[in-house]
């Protein structure tokens, strides 16, 4: 295959300014073949702007992006033949039926085998429970998403650019989406899946880039990112002395709160603490594994209680000033 094993998406120091708003502020992104790459960030972080640049729909103010090793702006035509795109807010031709829209979108990407296409389309309409005979203007938001998803999955693509594709789908349909997407990747596709929902990314993705205010703040496999957080251990404080607690190896942030002892431990050293806890005959033991959520909140927690979702960087205001203002 052309471009075998080379990076599918590479963005370097992408900038996108809308007046004073720096939607992208030096964003890097790397997606390798065969990955389902989670592109995680709160509303306004710059996910859609990045994807629009990758599609050649927006011109970066600075930096550059390649898709399949080709320039996202100048080579947009040949890039588009090889990818499927699903935005988070699909608009359809009001007077075409869903089925006609699916055929049109699929034909733009090139149907190689009619039989294969018909078979896949029937399967997808069935599992997504979509009636293709309705006019576009009568579909609900969720059904418009389904039309775009069926079209995206009906013709094999090398790259699926999915920008919050499940918005408006109910949980049952999200599960269908996850299953169909996994099959497309098993067929050899690569996925960039943008989301502001951590659990969705955790269920699907092999690697994750976390972005905030137009920059990548973390990148790694789920296991690598989890390792950045710690396991939380807690148990009843009854009948325990200070000396007992001091003897627990590798315990950090030990605290006693409403009759319970709690501490954190590096996930790798948890096993050393367990025999000590057993010897102390602790009661009501709970062990909470490291969670991406903790990491996620470490990056976004500043803004968690704000009425407004975190917004992109504003020019001419240094980062530390913004953090200070967001009320730590
Ligand atoms: N066309 C535009 N004009 C002005 N500001 C924009 C435009 N598109 C996006 N922005 C701003 O850029 C920032 C990033 O937006 P976006 O990429 O849509 O974030 P996300 O998809 O992560 O929610 C936001 O502050 C948004 O308001
Ligand atoms: Mg968006």
* Nearest Cα to Cα of residue 54 among 4, 10, 108: 10
Q: Is the CB of 24 under 6 A from ligand 1?
A: no
Q: For a substitution probing ligand 1, which of 26, 44, 47, 53 has the most ligand atoms within 8 Å of its CB?
A: 44
Q: ∠8-92-45 over CA atoms, to 5°?
A: 45
pLDDT tens profile 197-230:
888 888 899 999 999 999 999 999 988 887 777 8
The ligand placed nearest to the CA atom of residue 57 is: 1
312 lines ligand 1 (CB under 6 A): yes
What's the confidence (pLDDT) of residue 301? 65
- CB atoms near residue 286 (< 10 Å): 10
The per-residue pLDDT for range 84-141, each reduced to its tens digit, is 999 999 999 999 999 999 999 999 888 889 999 999 999 999 999 999 999 999 999 9
Task: Judge whether residue 319 has pLDDT over 60.
Answer: no
Q: Is the CB of 23 under 6 A from ligand 1?
A: yes
Strand 83-86's sheet: what is its strand order? 83-86, 159-163, 190-195, 36-40, 207-212, 215-221
Check pLDDT > 80 for residue 291. no
Domain spanning 9-82+157-225: CATH superfamily = P-loop containing nucleotide triphosphate hydrolases (3.40.50.300)
Least confident of 85-99, 161-175, 285-299: 285-299
Ligand 1 in contact with 315 (CB < 6 A)? no
Q: Whose CA is nearest to atom 5 of ligand 1?
A: 18
pLDDT of residue 233: 93
β-strand 21-31 against 159-163: which pairing, if any? Answer: unpaired
Whether the CB of 311 sits within 6 Å of ligand 1: yes
Name the residue with the closest Cα to ligand 1, atom 6: 18
Ligand nearest to the CA of 16: 1
Distances (CA, A) of 279 to 169, 197, 271: 50, 41, 14
* Atom number, ligand 1, closest to the C-alpha of residue 42: 22
Could you tell me the distance, in angstroms and rounded to a whole number, from the CA of residue 43 to the centre of ligand 1?
A: 9
Classified as helix, coil or strand, 7 is: coil
Q: What is the pLDDT of residue 86?
A: 96
In terms of Cβ atoms closer than 10 Å to its own Cβ (0-12, 13-18, 19+), residue 115 is: exposed
For ligand 1, whether the C-beta of 215 sits within 6 Å is no
Q: Give the domain ranges of the chain.
A: 9-82+157-225, 230-288
Would you say domain 230-288 falls under CATH 3.40.640.10? no
CB of residue 21 inside a 6 A radius of ligand 1: yes
Give the residue carrying structure tokens 């269908």: 176
């Amino acid at each position: 295959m052309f471009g075998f094993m080379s990076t599918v998406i590479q963005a370097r120091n992408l900038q996108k300014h809308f007046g004073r708003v720096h939607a992208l502020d030096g964003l890097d992104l790397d997606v390798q073949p065969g990955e389902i790459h989670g592109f995680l960030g709160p509303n306004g972080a710059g996910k859609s702007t990045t994807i629009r640049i990758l599609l050649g729909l927006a011109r970066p103010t600075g930096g550059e992006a390649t898709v399949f090793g080709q320039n996202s702006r100048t080579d947009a035509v040949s890039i588009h033949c090889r990818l499927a795109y699903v935005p988070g807010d699909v608009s359809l031709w009001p007077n075409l039926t869903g089925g006609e829209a699916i055929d049109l979108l699929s034909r733009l990407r090139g149907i190689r085998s009619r039989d294969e296409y018909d078979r896949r389309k029937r399967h997808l309409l069935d599992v997504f429970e979509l009636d293709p005979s309705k006019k576009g203007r009568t579909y609900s938001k969720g059904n418009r998403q389904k039309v775009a998803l069926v079209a995206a999955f009906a013709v094999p693509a090398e790259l699926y650019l999915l920008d919050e594709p499940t918005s408006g789908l109910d949980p049952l349909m999200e599960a269908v989406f996850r299953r169909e997407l996994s099959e497309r990747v098993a067929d050899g596709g690569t996925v960039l899946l943008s989301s502001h929902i951590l659990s969705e990314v955790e269920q699907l993705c092999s690697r994750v880039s976390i972005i905030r205010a137009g920059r990548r703040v973390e990148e790694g496999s789920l296991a690598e990112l989890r390792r950045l957080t710690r396991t939380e251990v807690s148990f009843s404080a009854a009948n325990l002395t200070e000396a007992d607690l001091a003897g627990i190896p590798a315990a950090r942030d030990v605290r006693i709160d409403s009759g319970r002892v709690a501490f954190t431990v590096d996930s790798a050293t948890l096993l050393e603490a367990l025999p000590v806890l057993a010897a102390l005959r602790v009661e009501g033991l709970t062990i909470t594994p490291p969670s991406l959520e903790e990491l996620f909140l470490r990056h976004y927690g500043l803004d968690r209680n704000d009425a407004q979702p975190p917004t992109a960087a504003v020019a001419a205001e240094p980062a530390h000033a913004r953090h200070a203002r967001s009320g730590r």
